[in-house]
Amino acid sequence: MSPVARGEPGKVGNRIRKLRFEHDEMTQEALAQAVGITRQTVIALEAERYAPSLDLAMRIADVFGRRVDDVFFRRGADGAPLPPIDSGVKE
């Protein structure tokens, strides 16, 4: 059984920096203002030193017109992105 399946905490990765540059090279300050956080929080998110609340993750995804799981993902113990868990639930 994987560590995530056992409920052990993993690291949350993200594509924020990539998405900022895809959106007319949006600055960290512009993203911060758009979602109501500080530039320092954006820096911590991009460096993966901080995992956002669900609300903040949703606000960031909304700025880029993406789904939360397009912006944030789980990392395994080796640092590699983990595939989404298939819940069997259809949208």
Is the confidence at residue 83, as pLDDT, over 50? yes
Q: How far is CA 70 from the centre of its chain?
A: 8
- Which residue type is seen at 54? L
pLDDT at 87: 60
Q: Averaged over 74-79, what is the pLDDT? A: 84
Residue 32's pLDDT band (cuts 50, 70, 90): very high
pLDDT at 76: 83
pLDDT at 13: 95
**Other CB atoms within 10 Å distance of the CB of residue 31:** 24
Is the confidence at residue 11, as pLDDT, over 80? yes
